[in-house]
Amino acid sequence: MMKKLLILLLSIAALSADAAFAASDGYEQKTVLENQRIRVVLITVKPGAESPSVIRQLDRLVYVLTAGTLQRIYDDGKTEVVKYAVGDLIFSDQPEDKKKYLVKNIGTTTVVLQITFIK
């Protein structure tokens, strides 16, 4: 019974997190799998769309499904352009990867990423 309750609570938390990220037109985050060890999400960013600015505290593995160019915009004003190619596999565990920033699609194609967060 406790295990079912825990799974239910984790599912509700995941849906709430996804809803927070759905605030921007053209930006979508959908949880496809979550358990005690990982959380897998699909991120879709249409041209011109941007994500909310959040701190990404967990290490993560990014797999690129659709190529494109995203810009990271940090709260301190620093920017960084990241070009993604289909099939790229990126492990994000550096301090810079965990600062608070938003991403904006500055390219002409919709970018789709599968991100596995490691708990």
Q: Give the domain CATH number at 75.
A: 2.60.120.10
| Per-residue confidence (pLDDT) for residue 2, from 0 to 100 | 47
| Per-residue confidence (pLDDT) for residue 56, from 0 to 100 | 86
**Each residue's pLDDT tens digit, 37-93:** 999 999 999 999 999 999 988 899 999 999 999 999 999 999 999 999 999 999 998
More confident position, 74 or 1: 74
Give the count of domains, the chain: 1
- The residues near 96 (Cβ < 8 Å, ≥ 6 apart) are none
CA-closest candidate to residue 75, choices 98, 58, 91? 98
| Per-residue confidence (pLDDT) for residue 98, from 0 to 100 | 86
**Each residue's pLDDT tens digit, 101-112:** 999 999 999 999
In angstroms, how far apart are the furthest CA atoms of the chain?
Answer: 49
Domain assignment of residue 64, given as a range: 2-118
CA-closest candidate to residue 118, choices 92, 80, 79? 92
Q: How many of the other CB atoms lie within 10 Å of CB of 112? A: 19
CA-closest candidate to residue 114, choices 11, 24, 6, 31? 31
97 falls in which pLDDT band (50, 70, 90)? confident
Per-residue pLDDT for 94 more than 70?
yes
| Per-residue confidence (pLDDT) for residue 51, from 0 to 100 | 94
